[in-house]
Structures are given as C-alpha cells and as structure tokens.
Amino acid sequence: MSFRVIMHIDMDAFFAAIEQRDRPELRGKPVVVGAQPGRRGVVATCSYEARKFGVHSAMPIANACKLCPQAVYLTPDHHRYSDESEKVMAILERLSPIVEQCSIDEAFVDITGLERLFGAPADIGRRAKAMIAGELHLTASVGIGPNRQIAKIASDFRKPDGLTVVPPEGVLDFLAPLAVGRLRGVGPRLREELAKLGVRTVADLRAWPIAALAQRFGDSYGAWLYRQARGEASDEVGCDDEGRKQISKENTFDADVTDAQVIRDTLLALGADVGRQARREGRRGTTVTLKIRFAPFETHTRQTTLPHAIDSDRQIFRAAEKLFAAAGRAGRPVRLIGVGLSDWEDDRGQLDLEFVDDERETRLFAAVDRITEKYGRRAIGLGAAGAKNHDEE
Ligand SMILES: [Mg+2]
C-alpha cells in the first residue's frame, strides 16, 4: 500500500504578524486585528502577545477589550493580507505543483514523491518554513501526514513556528491522547454527546466497536467516527469545518494565451461549470477563488468573499473577472486559469437541485465554441474531460 504525503501549512497569527512585520513599533505588543472597540464584531486575528491575555479569534471585540484593554486595535487591511497570501502560495507552488489553498492563510500541498528532489518530508517542511521566513519574514506552522486530516491536526499541534511530521505508522499513537474535538468535524454538540459516553480522547473513541457507534449515531455517522478515530477518514475534508469541499474547475491552455477575449470566455465557461455543479449539489458559496498561472510556472491565487452566497454562472464569472482584473497583469501570457467556489451557506431546500438553465447552457457552449475555433479542440474541455477538479485525487 502506498501512502500520499500531504503537508498542511498554517500561517501563524497571519494578519497580526503582517502588521507587526510592517510596523516595528507593534512588535512585542498585543495586537488585535478585527472590529474596532466599541463596535459590534469579532477578533479576526490577534498576536501571540494578546493571546497571553486570553484573547482569541472569533471572540467578540468587547470581550477582547475587557481582557486586554492595552492592546493595539487595528481594522483589517484585506488587500494587503491577500497580497501576502498570494506570495505564500507562490512559494509553495515552487515546491509542488499540487497546492490547494483553503483559506487566506492555509494550504494543503501534496508532496508525495518529492523526496528525490527535496529530501525527506521533514526536510520539505523545513524548506517551506525557511522560504516563507526568508522571503516574507513571517512564520508558519507545518504538519505532514498521510492524509489531509492528519496533516491539518499536525500543523495545529505545535504553534507557532511548529513542524510536526506524522508518518503513516505513527498515526494511531499521534491521535490517541488528543481530545476528540481535535478531529475534523467533531463540533461542540457531538463532543458533548461523546462526553456523556465517557469519550474524551481519541483513544476513548477507539475503544468503541463500530456496531456500538452505529447504534448510537446511525450507520453512516457511526462508521465515519470509527474511521476518524483511526485516522482513516476519507481524504475529502478541506479547511471547511462542515467538511464540504471547494468546487473548482481549471483549464490548461495548449498554447499560452494573451487574448483578453479568450480569457474572458474561459472564465465564463469555468464559472458556468462551477455554477452548474454547485446547483446540482444544492450548494451556494460566498467565496470565489481565481487561480492563474502565467508562463512558464508562476501561479497566483486570489479570493474574494461576497456579502451573500451565490450559485449562478454569471455571478461566479463576474467575481472571477474582477479578481483577474485586480491581478493587474493584463497582456501577460496565461498558461492556466481556474475558478472555485467555497464557504458554503447552510444547506438549502431541494428546490433547485434539478435546475438547468437553457440560456446559460447556450452561452456557455457559445463561449466554448469560440475558444475551440481559435485554439483547437483540446484548448478547453468541460467536466471530466478537461476541467480538472482539484478536490478529486
Ligand atoms: Mg493561521
């Protein structure tokens, strides 16, 4: 059996670290980035100095002010953080062609088979951290494991500036002492249910036979918990807490493209493809991601979060087009372009599941036709044929 080697990178106190890097007077001080004191809202990120006072992300800003009134309170500068995020992703893409950004400061990197190039997994982890520290003066925590769940738990294991490698044969021992809440998808309510059964650690959970878990939580959930306790959960879960992955489609051009109309048509086609899958699955997302690779191998990822959830081709396209324009690199030869949708709103009813919009289909195929005419049949493929879904491994 061969294992994959997955690395998860999580930047440390990302927004606060950028502020402290760029404003030396903030170094060593508690810094809270988020809502302004006296207003409604929460902490987005805070520096480690602020964490010593008990301040943490997602805490109401009023509570943070009570715990740490002397902190410097800053409003987030999302443009600047996005630029830094893009730089982090570009560094990771120099290590491996398979980088999946899952939030502004986190990414999974598939480093399977890179030993010949860069050494053992721990060496690759150290190399990633050194590149980020050397080029951006920021620290990251890195976790490496045989699947995404283990890699993600590992990156959180020692923070900040941590590096934790969990080899396949070490997974059971690594998980055993951890609180069950550390497992992806085990939220407060499930934790409570498990605590009633005396289950607090992963080892406690592992003591339960699959039949007993199935009886208590239902067949599929029981089986899922059973596998989670053994680090065997399927590799589908990204950074999304609900475990619902990003829908993304991308297209690699046979020849590098500079023609704005072709770029636009491709974005339109990819947006339609993502939208169609989202509607088929009954999901609406609030974050649109654009991935561009300039020739020969410079890849950028940009994200925007919208005020409301969307699933329409046109809205996804518009957001992607804006991101492309904001990248400010018109005229440069583009090799690859991708569009993604994520950050799902709560499940909706079933109403739209079978929804098919003829007009959109027509527009989509018109766009595909234009590209095909210009660049040949292999220039763009839709669905399984050409638009590779990044989440399917
Ligand atoms: Mg982080």
Interval between CA 141 and ligand 1 midpoint (Å): 8
Q: What are the tens digits of pLDDT across the range 102-123? A: 788 999 999 999 989 999 999 9
- Most confident of the ranges 108-122, 234-248, 292-306: 108-122
What confidence tens digit (pLDDT) does each residue in 320-351 have?
999 998 877 777 889 889 999 988 775 332 22
pLDDT, tens only, 149-182: 899 999 999 999 999 999 999 999 999 999 999 9
Give the pLDDT score at 355.
29
Whole-number pLDDT of residue 346? 53
Q: What pLDDT does 136 receive?
A: 98
Contact, 75 vs 89, CB < 8 A?
Answer: no
CB contact at 8 A, 368 and 380: yes
Domains of the chain and any CATH numbers? 7-113+132-165 (3.40.1170.60), 176-229 (1.10.150.20), 245-379 (3.30.1490.100)
Taking each helix axis from N to C end, the angle separating 210-217 and 219-229, rounded to the nearest 10 degrees, works out to: 130
Q: Tokens standing for 104?
A: 């502004």
Residue 388 banded pLDDT, cuts 50, 70, 90: very low
**Arithmetic mean of pLDDT over the chain:** 83
Q: Does the pLDDT at position 296 exceed 80? A: no
**Among 98-102, 112-116, 236-240, where is mean pLDDT lowest?**
236-240
Ion ligand 1 nearby residues (CB, 5 A): 10-11, 105
Buried b (16+ CB within 10 A) or exposed e, 181-203: ebbbbbeeebbeebeeeebebbb
pLDDT of residue 3: 77
Confidence at residue 100, expressed as pLDDT on a 0 to 100 scale: 84
361: annotated active-site residue: no
Q: CA geometry: angle at 274 spanning 375 and 368, to 5°?
A: 25
Higher pLDDT, 78 or 53: 53
Q: Which one of the listed residues 106, 115, 250, 373 is annotated catalytic? A: 106
pLDDT at 329: 72
**pLDDT > 70 fraction of the chain, expressed in percent and rounded:** 84
pLDDT at 352: 28
334-344 and 247-257 beta bridge pairing: antiparallel
* pLDDT in the model for residue 63: 94
Distance CA 162, CA 110 (A): 19
15 alpha carbon to ligand 1 midpoint, in Å? 9
pLDDT top residue among 218 and 7: 7
Of the two residues 144 and 260, the one the predictor is more confident about is: 144
Task: For residue 71, name the pLDDT band (cuts at 50, 70, 90).
Answer: very high
pLDDT, one tens digit per residue, over 39-61 is 888 898 999 999 999 999 888 89
Cα of 48 from ligand 1 centre, angstroms: 12
CA 257 to centroid of ligand 1, rounded, Å:
35
Q: Is the pLDDT of residue 281 over 70?
A: yes
C-alpha 380 – ligand 1 centre gap (Å): 35
DSSP 297: T
Please report which confidence band the pLDDT of residue 359 belongs to, taking 50, 70 and 90 as the band edges: very low
Ligand 1 center to residue 371 CA distance, Å?
Answer: 40
Looking at residue 357, its pLDDT comes to: 39
Judged against a pLDDT cut of 90, whether residue 18 lies above it is answered with: yes
Q: How far is the CA of 13 from the centre of ligand 1 (A)?
A: 6
Predicted confidence band at 309 (pLDDT cuts at 50, 70, 90)?
Answer: confident
- What's the CA-to-centroid distance between 43 and ligand 1, angstroms? 13
| Cβ neighbours of 306 (radius 10 Å) | 15
Using the mean position of ligand 1's atoms as its centre, give its distance from the Cα of residue 129 in Å: 14
Within 8 A by CB and 6+ apart from 164, the residues are 142, 143, 144, 154, 155, 157, 158
Q: How far, CA to CA in Å, does 16 sit from each of 21, 72, 77, 193, 202?
A: 9, 10, 11, 36, 33
Query: Would the pLDDT of 78 be above 90?
Result: no
| Model pLDDT for residues 185-235, shown as the tens digit of each residue | 787 888 888 999 999 999 999 999 999 998 988 887 788 889 999 998 555
pLDDT at 242: 37
